[in-house]
Amino acid sequence: MKTIDLIAGARPNFMKVAPILRELRLRQRQSGGGGLDYRLVHTGQHYDRAMNSVFFEELGIPAPDVQLAGGGGNHAQQTARVMTEYDALCQSKRPDCTVVVGDVDSTLACSLVAAKLQIPLAHVEAGLRSGDRSMPEEINRLVVDAVSDIYFVTEPSGTQHLLEEGKSRTSIHEVGNLMVDTLFYQRGSSVGERGNRAEDPDRLLVYQFKKQMAERGLRYAVVTLHRPANVDDPERLAGLLQALASLSAQIPVVFPVHPRTQRALDHLRPSLGSDVHIFPPLPYMAFLDLWSDAALVLTDSGGLQEETTALGVPCLTLRDTTERPVTISNGSNQLAGTEPSQILTLARTILARDSSHIFDKPALWDGQAARRIVDRLRLFLQCE
């Protein structure tokens, strides 16, 4: 029996590990695991309930087998803490493979540990590149792919980047998108409907907002902001908030505020207007209830670019680059940059468009990525 360490540490990771865990557990029930066992390692990078445990509850993720204490501090402190703790774990009980997802600091830290201990390393969501090295995530992506042994790719651009960087074609596997696996599963299963709105204050908040919009006969837009380049620069953040305030004169805007962004707002104290609605950070299902019915999503999130593409919801990415170009070429996403006038022009063009427009869905974004990943891991590890 071979054992993999499945690494999760921050909110974006949880939506990606959930389908892999579900597939592994299904195979354990059906055939004793098919020669592949797992250890779920939570690095502790996100540790408050709004960004952490509520996602485990909603996504049906079991309690971690190992809980590290990697939370808090800046990039260097967090990375060092996770590296130290994961190194100790691997020294005490070495896995046959470490599987990391995405591009957060936990992904980088555990990848470096595995590489130095010569533990085979698998990177899920490999090959994505924005070309913008001012983004911490871009540095993480480059380093993780430099030391990985097997690459699971979500879109053709990922394959092309890895080949250009000298990776072997036989180590690269286009498998689809785990974010889409989770999206389809949560929308269509009883797990996604666990608990009614009256018992879930976050979903009740969203339900009441949507009810108010329906009573006013209005559509609405949703915005998320959390990238350091957008929220840590007071001048840029002020410009983005100005765009939202102007847009709200045409359509109500709801803004679930990330903790990092809330700190910036507390310092800036902007005037947003009466139709920008500030919400707390929302767990997965409440946020899905909100954005999936929006007329427009404005975001600097990578994952939300993918999710809106999967459901055909118009999206403006508030950045100058994207590491997910398939969401533009085959989806509903457009790069809007951070200039307020450009954002408003694109938003108004979208809102004036026929809402019945149908967007293409990228190849393999069919909800089966986890199955393909587990199949490939079994072959890679030569499971019995």
Q: How buried is 266 (Cβ within 10 angstroms: 0-12 exposed, 13-18 middle, 19+ buried)?
A: exposed
Residues 378, 30: Cα–Cα separation, whole Å: 16
| CA neighbor of 100 nearest in space, from 65, 126, 74 | 126
Which tokens sit at 237?
A: 């953040």
Residues 29, 305: Cα–Cα separation, whole Å: 34
Which tokens sit at 163?
A: 């080949």
| CA neighbor of 73 nearest in space, from 99, 106, 100, 101 | 106
Annotated active-site residue 226? The verdict is yes
> Directed axis angle between helix 105-116 and helix 75-92, to 10°?
40
Contact criterion met (CB below 8 Å) for 21 and 47: no
Q: Find the distance separating the first CA and the last CA of the chain, reported in whole Å.
A: 7
Beta bridge mates, 164: none
Out of 42, 46, 173, 226, pick the active-site residue: 226
Which positions are annotated as active-site residues? Answer: 226
